[in-house]
Every structure is written in structure tokens, then in C-alpha cells.
A and B are shown apart, each in its own frame.
Chain A
């Protein structure tokens, strides 16, 4: 395999990965905007359709420009307050401790009261 072919293949692989990640982020964002399933499904289909119309594009430079445009659009319409799984970074339970077990409670209070301030 010549160097030119190898670099072409590598570039195409990188582009495919960018498209997959862009689609994944856009799909998650669709779920953020459409909170109910019956709203989400048409939106997800429309998003998929936007990717499908460009399936046959072969020109590598044009693909690059289209990915950049897609990423810019996605960045512009990103949800300001996305859903994050509670324990994940940014989620509501991230780095939180559970309430102490009931047996520990009087002990905590006593320690607190007699702490020298």
C-alpha cells in the first residue's frame, strides 16, 4: 500500500470517527431537547435523515467541511442544561455522600456539641 493510500485510509477513518461521535452527541442532545419519547422519535428520525442524505459523498475535502459545519451547528444548538446521569461528573449526585446511618446519628450530634470551637 502506498503512502498516499495509507494516508487517505487514515484520514477517512478519522472522519468516520468524527461523524460517529457527532451523531452520538447530537442524538443525546435531541433527547435533552425532547423530553418525551413521542417527541424524541420524530426528532431522532429527522437527525438521522440529515446524516443519511450525505451518505454517498466521496470528496474528502467536502466531507471535512461538512463535518465542521455539522459540529458548529451542534455547538450552536447545544442544550444549556443537559441531562447527566446523577453519579457522573456534573450530575446531581456527583461527589455527594449519603446520609449517615441511623445508629451513628446521636454520636455525630454529641461530637458536634462538645467540639471545642
Chain B
């Protein structure tokens, strides 16, 4: 009985939802994460710039595919410092375990390029 009454009432009530819809669809994304990825070339340039400015590195040796310890003669603590400098340059917060895995230029570039919040 109640169900029948409810459905008969609902059939006759019209809610003007469609009036508001155009305004809602025009709204931009409300999430706080902006998903504009950096250009790959810009990422490469800025990463290389950071590594070249590291005091213990010979700037002429730096290319986009160097390994920090094998090619640049750094030790593991130096690569920790480089990753931290990269974090500051791109305003990132990399979890410790992931930052520990970044030990070469290609890895750093790939990680930063794929990170949605790098800027």
C-alpha cells in the first residue's frame, strides 16, 4: 500500500533537476591535485642542472643517462643528497624507500616526469 502510494506520488512530482545541470557540468575539477605534467625536456634540463651544480660532480660528465655512483664517482650518501636536492627543485616529497631506489639519472627523470605533483 505504502509502496503503491509512494510510486503514484513520485510519478506526479517533477523536480526541475535539469535546470541546474548545465551549471554543474561547467565546473572545473574540484580536487586539489592539479594534473598538469611537466614537459619531458624541461624535466631533463632541470635534473641535469641540479646534478651539475652538485659540488663533487664534474659538470662535463653529466648526461641524461649517467649513474650517480658508477659514472660520476659519488658514494651512496652523495646520491642521497642529490635526490634530496631534486626533491626540493621539483617540490616533491618522495617516500624514503622509493628515494633510496633512485640511483641514476634516467630513474630520477622517469620518476619526476611521472609524478603528478612535480612542478
Contacts and interface: CB of A to CB of B under 8 A. Distances in A.
B96 A25 contact: yes
Given A16-B76, A48-B77, A87-B33, A24 B26 contact: no
A87 B93 CA distance: 9
A51 B84 CA distance: 17
A interface SS class: helix
A23 to B, nearest CB: 5
A93 B32 contact: yes
A84 B30 CA distance: 23
A107 interface: yes
Contacts of B100: 17, 20-21, 24
B90 to A, nearest CB: 10
Contact of B32 (A16, A85, A97, A101): A97
